Amino acid sequence: MNEVKQDFKKMLGFAGALILVFLVIRYWEKLESLISVGVGAATPLIIGCAMAYVINILMGFYEKWYDKLFKVEIALKIKRVVCLILAFLSLFGIVALIINLVLPELINCIASFIRLIPGALQTVVDIVGEEQILEMFPELKNGLDFTNISTQVEQLIKTILGGVGGAVGSIMNAVSSVVSVVVNIVIGLIFSLYVLLDKEGLGRRCKTLISTYLPKASDKIFYVADVLDESFHSFIVGQCIEAVVLGSLCIVGMWIFRFPYAVMIGVFIGFTALIPIAGAYIGAAVGAVMILTVSPLQAVQFLIFIVVLQQLEGNLIYPKVVGQSIGLPGIWVLTAITVGGGVLGVGGMLLAVPLFAAGYRLIREDVERHNPVPVVEKEEKNEDEQCSESKENEDSIFVDEEK
pLDDT of residue 334: 76
CB 298 within 8 A of CB 328: no
Residue 52 has pLDDT above 80, yes or no: yes
CB 288 within 8 A of CB 296: no
Torsion over CA: 98, 99, 104, 109 (sign): positive
Residue 15 has pLDDT above 50, yes or no: yes
pLDDT tens-place string over residues 251-290: 999 999 989 888 888 888 888 888 776 777 888 888 888 8
Greater pLDDT, 220 or 333:
220
> What's the rounded Cα separation, in Å, for the pair 220 and 181?
37
> What's the rounded Cα separation, in Å, for the pair 251 and 273?
14
In angstroms, the Cα distances linking 227 to 22, 74, 312 are: 33, 36, 30
> What's the rounded Cα separation, in Å, for the pair 361 and 13?
29
Mean pLDDT of the 243-251 span: 88
> What's the rounded Cα separation, in Å, for the pair 210 and 82?
32
Mean pLDDT of the 234-239 span: 85
Average pLDDT score over the chain: 78
Highest mean pLDDT among 251-260, 304-313, 380-389: 251-260
Our CA angle for 181, 36, 187, nearest 5°, is 30
What percent of the chain is predicted at pLDDT more than 70?
A: 74
Highest mean pLDDT among 3-12, 89-98, 133-142: 89-98
Greater pLDDT, 183 or 400:
183
Backbone φ, ψ for residue 81 (5° rounding): -65, -45
Greater pLDDT, 344 or 119:
344
> What's the rounded Cα separation, in Å, for the pair 80 and 377?
53
CB 350 within 8 A of CB 274: yes
Residue 391 has pLDDT above 70, yes or no: no
Residue 376 has pLDDT above 50, yes or no: no
Q: Which amino acid is at 237?
A: V
pLDDT tens-place string over residues 125-184: 666 555 555 555 554 445 545 555 556 556 666 665 555 555 556 677 777 778 888 888
Q: Which amino acid is at 351?
A: L
CB 242 within 8 A of CB 273: yes
| Domain spans of the chain, in order of start | 214-372
Torsion over CA: 29, 32, 38, 42 (sign): negative
